[in-house]
Amino acid sequence: MTIASQSPSAAPTTAPVPVDPPTPDAPPARRRTTLTRNRWGYAYVAPFFLVFAAFSLYPFLYTAWVSLHRTSLSDIDGGTFVGLENYRNLLQSEFFWNAARNTLTIGILGTVPQLCMALGLAHLLNYKLRGRTFFRTVMLMPYATSIAAATLVFAQLFGRDYGLINTALEAVGLDRVDWEAGTWTSQIAIAVIVTWRWTGYNALIYLAAMQSIPGELYEAAEIDGASRWKQFLHVTIPSLRPTILFTIVVSTIGAVQLFGEPLLFAGNGTTSGGSSGQYQTLGLLMYQQGWTNFHIGQAATTAWAMFLIILLVVGANAVVGRLRARADR
Query: pLDDT per residue over 245-261, tens digit each?
Result: 999 999 999 999 999 99
Kindly report the length of the chain: 329
What was the pLDDT predicted at 18? 57
What was the pLDDT predicted at 55? 93
How far apart CA 247 and CA 115 sit, in angstroms, is 8
What was the pLDDT predicted at 130? 77
What digits encode the pLDDT tens for the residues 146-180? 999 999 999 999 998 888 999 999 999 989 999 98
Residue 70: beta bridge partners?
Answer: 80
Examine residue 241 and state whether it is found in any structural domain, yes or no: yes
Examine residue 319 and state whether it is found in any structural domain, yes or no: no
Examine residue 257 and state whether it is found in any structural domain, yes or no: yes
Residue 80: beta bridge partners?
Answer: 70
Alpha helices in the chain (DSSP H): 34-37, 39-52, 58-66, 85-91, 94-125, 132-144, 147-157, 164-171, 183-210, 215-223, 228-231, 237-239, 241-256, 260-265, 282-287, 296-328
Examine residue 12 and state whether it is found in any structural domain, yes or no: no
Examine residue 250 and state whether it is found in any structural domain, yes or no: yes
How far apart CA 140 and CA 138 sit, in angstroms, is 5
Residues of the chain with pLDDT under 70: 1-37, 76-78, 267-270
Q: Using CB atoms within 10 Å of the CB of residue 28, give its burial: 0 to 12 exposed, 13 to 18 middle, 19+ buried.
A: exposed
Nearest Cα residue to 258 out of 195, 175, 323: 195
Q: Which amino acid, 313?
A: V
Domain that holds residue 196: 95-294
CATH of residue 188: 1.10.3720.10
**Cβ–Cβ < 8 Å for 298, 306:** no
**Cβ–Cβ < 8 Å for 179, 163:** yes
Domain count, the chain: 1
Mean pLDDT computed over every residue of the chain: 85
Question: How much is the CA Rg of the chain, to the nearest whole Å?
Answer: 34
Examine residue 127 and state whether it is found in any structural domain, yes or no: yes
What was the pLDDT predicted at 185? 93
What digits encode the pLDDT tens for the residues 50-87? 999 999 999 999 999 999 999 887 775 668 899 899 99
What was the pLDDT predicted at 27? 52
What was the pLDDT predicted at 20? 56
Examine residue 178 and state whether it is found in any structural domain, yes or no: yes
Examine residue 281 and state whether it is found in any structural domain, yes or no: yes
How far apart CA 23 and CA 5 sit, in angstroms, is 52
